[in-house]
């Protein structure tokens, strides 16, 4: 029973996650490129922005 469930669930999950990731990449939400922070005008590197 467990094996049957896993054989069904596994491909379904993989397909949905894969499609979501592909869709995200198509719309630019996900990118494999390294994220580059926007330039900061301060003379020193700031820790971050709140």
Partner 1 sequence: MLVLALLYLGPALGQGFVLSYDMVFVPQQSLLLTTFGLDGGLPRAVPQDIVVALLTQVVDGAWVQKVVLLAIPIVAGLGVARLLMGWGRGVQLMGVTLAVWNPFVVERMVIGHWALLLTYAVVPWVLACLMRLRNTGRGAPGLLLWCALGSLVPTGGVWLLMVVSVPLLWPGGVLTLKRRITFMSGVVALNLPWLLAALAHPSRGTTRIDGSEAFALRAEGTWGEVLTALSLGGIWNSEVVLPSRGLILAPIMGVLLIGLTVWGIRSWMRVGERVVVVWGVLLAGAGAVLALLPALLTGLWGLLLETLPGGGLLRDSHKWLLLLAMVVAIVAPIGAARLIRPISDSVNRRVIVAALVIAPVLVLPDMAWGASGRLSAVEYPTEWTNMRQAVAEQQITGDVIVLPWSTFRRFEFNANRTVLDPAPRWLPRASVFSSSLAVTRGGQTIVISGDDPRSQVVNETLAAGQPLVGVASDLGVGLALVERNARPPVPATALDGTSLVWSEGNLELYRFPGPARAPFVTAADRVIIGVNIVIAIGLVGLGLTAAGGRWRSRRSNSLIDPDSPA
Residues 49, 43 contacting (CB under 8 angstroms): no
Closest C-alpha among 27, 28, 49 to residue 37:
49
Q: What angle do CA 24, 27, 33 make, to 5 degrees?
A: 75
Work out how close the CB of 37 gets to partner 1 at its nearest, in angstroms, rounded to a whole number.
6
Binding mask 3-42 for partner 1 (x = CB under 8 A): --xx-xx--xx--xx--xx--x----xxxxxxxxx--x-x
Q: Which residues bind partner 1 (CB under 8 A)?
A: 2, 5-6, 8-9, 12-13, 16-17, 20-21, 24, 29-37, 40, 42-50
């Amino acid at each position: 029973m467990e094996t049957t469930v896993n054989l069904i669930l596994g491909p379904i999950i993989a397909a949905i996650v894969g499609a979501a990731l592909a869709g995200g990449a198509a719309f630019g939400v996900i990118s494999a490129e390294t994220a580059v922070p926007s330039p900061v005008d301060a003379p020193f590197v700031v820790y971050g922005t709140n």
